[in-house]
Structure 1
Amino acid sequence: MGHWLDRNIIEPGKLPLLLALAAFVVTFLVTRSITRLIRAGKGPFRNVSAGGLHIHHAVPGVVLTVIGGFGAVASGRHGLGAFLSAVVFGIGAGLVLDEFALILHLNDVYWTEEGRKSVEAVVLTAALVGLLLAGFAPFGVNDLSTEELQGRGAAITSVAVNFLFSLVSLSKGKTRTALYGVVVPLIALVGAVRLARPGSPWARRFYRRRPRARARSLVRAYRHDRRWSGPGRAVQDWIAGAPDRSAGGR
């Protein structure tokens, strides 16, 4: 049955990736629902502690990620073993990235403003995996024909150019654009030719003696943030819960 699904619903070999993505998203949503209930003091759920030590769910997440990753390597991309490993890996990754901000800051910032980085990491990961499922390959290699792929020079040149676009976007302070550009080169190209964000390495290096460019960069960044920050935060709050106004974790 697994092979039938693999052949007829999605591109061959991508069913494990689809299962991992589904498990990842569902795990994140379920975990956030449970933590929001714990935060509100509702339902039967409580924080897990051992000897007075709070056990964060990133801990079992790491264990499941390791098990799923090694299981996937051992089983290949087909068969029941590969499908189960993909699901286990997706669950583990969902648990780990739900506490990405805690790992980044080495502090319990789950319900603080810094904790929003966890939601951003989850959304970004899901989007990138979704692009891979849609048929995009890193640095635009999927855009090359069979003949071009056979010629190492063309393939290497394509990867190098697309990597350069992503690197320029990253240096301009456009992290999301650079990451999305890894799998969709046109996005990285747009980020590479547009103005850098204020304070980015590119702006500090090339706008130092260009007051007009600095001013345009500031105005554009202000307008962009004013337009999108509010809706973006509202979506994050709807998905994962609003952070506490006061500092502190759980």
Structure 2
Amino acid sequence: MVTFACTRLLVLLIMARKLPDLYVHVGGTHVHHLNFGIVVLAVVGAALLFAQPRGRWRDVVAAGYGIGLALTFDEFGMWLHLGGSYWQRASFDAITIVGGLLLLAAWVPPPVEWTRRGITAAGLMLALLAVFFWRLSLSLSPIEQRALPALERIEQQGPH
């Protein structure tokens, strides 16, 4: 969530020209940060496959996984719709859902320890998360309607 928030803030500041253009361009093509997220996820996958990190390195790999996931899903709307505005609602929704599911996964014990009561509790928690995300999506619509035109104007005026 920290990576997502920092990335959104950084992009907003670049688009509003409060920071210099820090975008990476290769041969005239803007390399979106979801590509960096994919690379980070690939490195994390390789580390888990080949190195089996322990101790401090395991924490580093876990942090890398979170960073890669945030960078990738921050532009979920753009890769889902193959373009469009950076400020697509689908990206925010994806980050919220992925974050909630990861929190749920961290709370649930390993499958070998599952009991009927634990499965019921996890199912209930999943249902509550679904209701929460649904209500959150409804409550954000008025905010989105007010903020999106301003964000899209900033995006149009910012560096490409």
Task: Identify which of 139, 151, 154 aligns with 1:231.
Answer: 139
Alignment partner for residue 130 of structure 1, among 94, 98, 103? 103
Contact 2:47 2:53 in 1 (8 A): no
Residue 216 of structure 1 corresponds to which residue in structure 2?
none
CA contact (8 A) 1:72 1:81 kept: no
1:59–1:96: 8 Å Cα contact kept in structure 2? yes
Does structure 2 retain, via aligned residues, the 8 Å contact 1:136–1:184? no
User: Which residue is 2:148 aligned to?
Assistant: 243
Aligned to 2:131: none
Q: Which of the residues 115, 133, 158 maps onto 1:143?
A: 115
Alpha-carbon displacement from aligned partner over 1:185-218 (angstroms, at most 9, x marks no partner):
136678xxxxxxxxxxxxxxxxxxxxxxxxxxxx
Q: 1:130 to 1:46 in 2, by over 3 A?
A: same
Name the SS for the 1:244 alignment partner: helix
- Which of 39, 48, 64 is the aligned partner of 1:63? 39
Work out the CA distance in 2 between the residues paired with 1:73 and 1:54: 31
Q: Determine the C-alpha separation between the residues in 2 that align with 1:133 and 1:188.
A: 13
Q: Measure, in 2, the Cα distance between the counterparts of 1:127 and 1:99.
A: 18
Counterpart position of 1:84 = 60
Indicate if the aligned counterparts of 2:53 and 2:61 stay in contact, CA closer than 8 A. Answer: no
Confirm whether residue 184 of structure 1 aligns to residue 156 of structure 2: no
The two structures have a TM-score, normalised by structure 1, of 0.49
Contact preservation (8 Å) 1:71, 1:81: no
**Residue ranges of structure 1 left out of the alignment (5+ in a row):** 1-24, 146-157, 163-182, 191-224
Runs of 4+ in 1 over 4 A off after TM superposition: 187-190, 227-230, 234-237, 245-250
- Alpha-carbon displacement from aligned partner over 1:46-92 (angstroms, at most 9, x marks no partner): 43222211110111111011101221233447323322221222111
The yes-or-no answer on 1:31 pairing with 2:7 is yes
- In the alignment, the residues of structure 1 paired with residue 19 and residue 127 of structure 2 have an alpha-carbon distance, to the nearest angstrom, of 49
Aligned residues: 148
Structure-2 change in CA distance of 1:29 and 1:123 (3 Å): same
TM-score by length of 2: 0.72
Tell which structure's C-alpha radius of gyration is larger. Answer: 1
